[in-house]
Structure 1
Amino acid sequence: MTADDHALALALADAAGAAIRPFFRGAWSEERKADRSFVTEADRAAEAAMRALIEAHRPADGIIGEEYGTRNEGAGRQWVLDPIDGTTSFIAGRAIFGTLIALVQDGWPVLGVIDQPIAQERWVGRIGEGTTFNGRPAATRPLKDLSDAVLGTTTPHQFAGDDVDAFMGVARAVAESKIIYGGDCYNYGLVASGHIDCVIEAGLKLHDFAALVPVVEGAGGMMSDWMGNPLDAGSDGRVIALGDPARLDDILDAMS
């Protein structure tokens, strides 16, 4: 990962935002994909804009995009793109969706961007370096006791079977008034900035979580799967984001 990679990631976020903003609370087409999730004209325009830049400036790199699939699948360096993480929020006119951009090296996320193009809020994290929020250092906050935590998740409907019990174990350990539903990737930016303490989710794909790892960890937090293992391209999509890594055992105990 180089300074040029960082500059390209910012250019990708700029391009995606420029493609998305004209559609927000405006007129656009939408349809359901095979997995029954929605995709809009804005999703596709944003990913196409980012892919064009990568193909022009990093032709040997791979691309894993939510809408247009994989390019150069065997490349050691992969740009992982989710043009609109939180399409339902975009459709509803809520500015808590985001564009996710990650650079994954040999399966490990090393650079991540969470960009909210309407509010113009941007978190950028690089492994081995700090995370910034709109160009200034971002930091998670300490948490003395799990009962004081603000817990976030996008929707309880993502949990099924034993996963329901695991999430509810953590929900019971925190104050009920401090559980936030909705937010998608925006919640992870708020972890990095010290406003939310923990996010627990299931069913995520690589394009949903790759960018989040460098952002949260660069701000002093940690991300793991539900066993406490680091996240990589082979992770099963059940994730924990935690602002204070010292509380991981408490989270795992509550989930068991």
Structure 2
Amino acid sequence: MDQNELGLRYRFAQGVVREAGQMALDRYRRRESLAVERKGRQDFVSEADKACEAFVAGALLKAFPEDSFLGEEGGLQNAGSAATWIIDPIDGTSNFIAGIPIWCVSLGLVIGSQSVLGIIYNPATEDLYAARAGEGAYLNGKRIRVSGARRLEEARMGLGFSYRRPVQDHVKAVSACLEASCEYTRFGSGALGMAFAADGRLDGYYEAHINAWDVAAGLVLMTEAGGWCSDFFGAPDTLIKGNVILAAAPGLVEPLRKLLAV
């Protein structure tokens, strides 16, 4: 895919994600009336998730019929392309249905094993993060950079948790951070955790297992903001099965890799 084609997708995706975010925000404001289903332990899906994903999928597949599309709710569509859009229509659904304004629409474009576009939008705060490989990372049009932290005792990490891994794995990560005097925060949205690490609100983000739709956009945001990410797509079948993720400011990469055994 040449740079003109990538640029077209970058611009188009931002508009689609904004529109999907406003659809989600409308439903968030009347969330008491939404149908909610339970998919697993502490894993929910609302009719807002499904509606927003269907809207984004329809728009992208119409505009770029040669691309593939992977959604958290609808799975893989139009399989076979080297370029795959990956969406979490509402990352942080538990927050969404509880009325906590920490959720977002996350959309990434992956070519081969590289995340080349990332859009993360939190409609509640009107924050739009956008990044394109080789072109930098932005928040509402302003260039962002990762933090300059170099010592764990000065750092604050975002730590995610998934029941797909033993609870003790998360306990071990929390304990390791606290023993190193490294603060931690858990938001309930891996995509926003990655975005906050990209703009220096956090100094890094770690999750023992995260799905591709939660992290595809954050990978390019983080690297374009000057940060480092573990090789999420380097293992087989991570598009479907997920993987561990560690993202960090440059000065914390080695201390965090050692601390969290990544």
Answering whether residue 125 of structure 2 is matched by residue 124 of structure 1, we say no
Mapped partners of 2:45, 2:218: distance in 1 = 21
Q: Which amino acid aligns with 2:114?
A: W
Name whichever structure is richer in helix by fraction.
2
In the superposition, relative to structure 1, how do residues 161 and 94 fare at CA in structure 2: closer, same or farther (>3 Å)? closer
Mapped partners of 2:96, 2:222: distance in 1 = 23
Partner of 1:171: 178
Answering whether residue 210 of structure 2 is matched by residue 241 of structure 1, we say no
The 3-state SS of whatever aligns with 2:219 is: helix
In structure 2, which of residues 12, 19, 30 is the aligned counterpart of residue 8 of structure 1? Answer: 12
Mapped partners of 1:201, 1:34: distance in 2 = 18
Mapped partners of 2:234, 2:89: distance in 1 = 18
Answering whether residue 183 of structure 2 is matched by residue 182 of structure 1, we say no
Partner of 1:24: 28
Matches within 5 A, 1:55-204: 55-155=61-161, 160=166, 163-164=169-170, 165-175=172-182, 178-184=183-189, 185-204=191-210
Contact 2:162-2:209 within 8 A present in 1 as well: no
Mapped partners of 1:169, 1:21: distance in 2 = 37
The 3-state SS of whatever aligns with 2:86 is: strand
The 3-state SS of whatever aligns with 1:211 is: helix
Structure 1 unaligned segments of length 5 or more: list them.
225-229
User: What TM-score comes out, normalization by structure 2 length?
Assistant: 0.88
Mapped partners of 2:94, 2:162: distance in 1 = 15
Mapped partners of 1:88, 1:146: distance in 2 = 30
Mapped partners of 2:188, 2:168: distance in 1 = 23
Partner of 1:206: 212
Mapped partners of 2:122, 2:223: distance in 1 = 19
Mapped partners of 1:17, 1:173: distance in 2 = 38
Partner of 1:252: 257
Contact 1:210-1:232 within 8 A present in 2 as well: no
Partner of 1:38: 44
- Cα deviation, 1:112-160, whole Å, max 9, x if unaligned, reads 1111012110111111121000011011111121111011123486652
Measured on the aligned residues, the alpha-carbon RMSD in Å equals 2.0
Give how far 1:39 is off: 0.4
Question: How many positions carry a matched residue from both structures?
Answer: 248
Mapped partners of 1:156, 1:204: distance in 2 = 7
Mapped partners of 1:158, 1:98: distance in 2 = 22
Mapped partners of 2:82, 2:131: distance in 1 = 20
Give how far 1:249 is off: 1.2
Q: Which amino acid aligns with 1:170?
A: C
Larger deviation: 193-202 or 59-68?
193-202
In the superposition, relative to structure 1, how do residues 90 and 170 fare at CA in structure 2: closer, same or farther (>3 Å)? same
Q: Which amino acid aligns with 1:255?
A: L
In the superposition, relative to structure 1, how do residues 108 and 202 fare at CA in structure 2: closer, same or farther (>3 Å)? same
Structure 2 unaligned segments of length 5 or more: list them.
none
In the superposition, relative to structure 1, how do residues 202 and 68 fare at CA in structure 2: closer, same or farther (>3 Å)? same
In the superposition, relative to structure 1, how do residues 162 and 154 fare at CA in structure 2: closer, same or farther (>3 Å)? closer
User: What TM-score comes out, normalization by structure 1 length?
Assistant: 0.89
Mapped partners of 2:195, 2:104: distance in 1 = 10
Q: Which amino acid aligns with 1:231?
A: F
